[in-house]
Structure 1
Amino acid sequence: MEFKIEHTWDSLPVSHEPVSVRLKSGSAGLLMEVSAPFFNDPPAPLGEPGKPFSGLWDYEVVEAFFLSERTKQYLEVELCPRNVFTNNHQTKSLEGKRSELEYKITNTWDSIKVMREPAIIRFKAGDKGLIMEVNSLFFDDPSAPSGEPGKPFDGLWDYEGMDNIFYYCSLEETVLKKDCLIFEAGINWNKWNGTALIPWRYFPPGVDKMNSYAIHGSGIGRTYEALYPIPRDDIEQGQGLFSIVWSISKESV
């Protein structure tokens, strides 16, 4: 698995070659390979090369966090270009802390920048499932579906809404039809927000990929925005929507 760090913590694109992190399965453990620009700022820590060093986060470093939702524990790994690493090899508990992830959808599916306020998605771990919160501009296009509020509706992807897809390593899907989510939504002028509780049983084991989409508009104005878009150079002529979804999600985390 390979990941690229292309944004700052507040979603601004980096102005240099992105950091690459590769994870490989080894006989003795997980291999973590890092390739990154070297800034030499701040100066090297005083730790002995090849030995742990406390407070490495104050220096030039690449950090990785590995989280277990089931046990509420995480492992933090810090690597420094000076051949110094963090001494934190023990997992830490998240009990009593609020675990929350926030994402902004700032591009269309084909990597064109969205020139307005982006849709925001937040995920929180709840006792009964994953809490998904959505905040987005309200376009009121197309008109509302005819389904009964609070009930499942087939073909909802043809309307205005948010779509979130979770995949696991075998790239096979577990489909649950006609199951209800606990979902509430509201419209306030030109914005809408919604909160859904996705039961843990809905998720297949080993989920390791995710992508989110904001969809609205009708006809030639139909717009598909993606958290993890396809790079422009990777788009094939005549590529259909379902192949777009698969190719995006296979590269997402």
Structure 2
Amino acid sequence: MAHDENAGALAAERAMKATSSGRGDSAVVTPRMNHFTKQAVDAALKGYDFVIDHTWDGQPVAHEPFSIHLQWHFERVPGKPHKRVIRCIIEGPLFDDPEPPDDLPGICPGLWEYEVVELFFANRRDQYVEIEVGPHGHWLVYLHDGVRKAFNKGEELELNVQNTFEGNTWRCTVEIPLAYFPSAVRTFNAYAIHGSGSERHYEALYPVTDGTHTEPDFHRLEYFQNIDMKRIVPEGYNDVAFSDLFYGDLWQGKH
């Protein structure tokens, strides 16, 4: 078995290096993913699991906490660019407070004012992607080159979002295209927001205060904590911002 495990690890390394040999689909060499190779790659990319069990200032939440699972997903799509995404599965309570946005499901400006879960992935140059998803089919994506310096309008970046419900539990599966991420992502934080007025609740994976702040601010990058992207995406993909045939290079000129 030890020999098989070593062979699997080597196959995974060769496969991941092959897929990351270029930045765009036209340059990428995609290995033939037979059953053995796919198992090796899957074993190398362990993914991540997180639990949002504290408020923004470090107090324990008073309900079943939100869980987040991050996992690499690659899919060949006939007649279209290959799908390279980080698949995120979010599960937690459905509060239905406040009332959902009036907008039809899809991109929703100002989604942070409603019931929402937010994911932030940042590098050491204060570049980060902000992903927001709500239980009623709404989403929002901002790309920041500097703290709160979004260089897109949040109205043009699509997400594949699927929401299901079981009783009062909300389960959201969202696929985040690799092209949305800045190069060299190193830190991460995630948030859950719900409630209205004085009962508005702000929850954080990693609290965003050292005790000196009186209001939440989810763009305080200094409180983010490290994330090892090698557990989520194949080797080489996190070195530079990914350019593909559908999105192009969203971070062009900002590397």
User: TM-score w.r.t. structure 2 length?
Assistant: 0.57
Aligned equivalents of 1:238, 1:229: Cα separation in 2: 12
2:107 matches 1:152: yes
| 2:63 alignment counterpart | 116
Aligned equivalents of 1:242, 1:191: Cα separation in 2: 25
More strand by share: 1
Higher RCO (CA-CA < 8 Å; seq separation 6+): 2
1:196-235 matches, cutoff 5 A: 196-230=174-208, 234-235=210-211
Work out whether residues 211 and 252 of structure 1, in 8 Å CA contact, stay in contact via their aligned partners in 2: no
The share of aligned pairs that are identical, in percent, is: 29
The 3-state SS of whatever aligns with 1:126 is strand
Q: 1:252 to 1:141 in 2, by over 3 A?
A: farther
The 3-state SS of whatever aligns with 2:41 is coil
Which one-letter code corresponds to 1:166 in the other structure? F
Work out whether residues 184 and 194 of structure 1, in 8 Å CA contact, stay in contact via their aligned partners in 2: yes
| 1:95 alignment counterpart | 41
> 1:66-124 CA deviation, whole Å, 9 max, x = no partner?
x9x9649xxxxxxxxxxxxxxxxxxxx95142632111111001000113211000001
2:91 matches 1:135: yes
Work out whether residues 161 and 215 of structure 1, in 8 Å CA contact, stay in contact via their aligned partners in 2: yes
| 1:166 alignment counterpart | 121
Structure 2 residue runs of 5 or longer lacking an equivalent are: 1-12, 19-38, 75-83, 129-142, 144-150, 228-255
The 3-state SS of whatever aligns with 2:127 is coil
Moved over 3 A (4+): 69-72, 173-176, 237-240
Q: 1:195 to 1:96 in 2, by over 3 A?
A: closer
> 1:183-219 CA deviation, whole Å, 9 max, x = no partner?
1112322111111110000001010011010110111
**Deviation of 1:166 (Å):** 0.6
Which one-letter code corresponds to 2:193 in the other structure? I
Aligned equivalents of 1:169, 1:198: Cα separation in 2: 21
Work out whether residues 202 and 216 of structure 2, in 8 Å CA contact, stay in contact via their aligned partners in 1: no
Which one-letter code corresponds to 1:248 in the other structure? Y
Which one-letter code corresponds to 2:107 in the other structure? P
Work out whether residues 228 and 252 of structure 1, in 8 Å CA contact, stay in contact via their aligned partners in 2: no
Which one-letter code corresponds to 2:196 in the other structure? S
Structure 1 residue runs of 5 or longer lacking an equivalent are: 1-66, 73-92
Aligned equivalents of 1:70, 1:216: Cα separation in 2: 40
Aligned equivalents of 1:214, 1:121: Cα separation in 2: 11
User: TM-score w.r.t. structure 1 length?
Assistant: 0.57
Q: 1:246 aligns with which of 198, 216, 221?
A: 221
Work out whether residues 169 and 208 of structure 1, in 8 Å CA contact, stay in contact via their aligned partners in 2: yes
| 2:170 alignment counterpart | 192
Q: 1:148 to 1:70 in 2, by over 3 A?
A: farther
The 3-state SS of whatever aligns with 2:221 is helix
Aligned equivalents of 2:204, 2:42: Cα separation in 1: 33
Bigger Rg, which one: 1
Q: 1:211 to 1:186 in 2, by over 3 A?
A: same
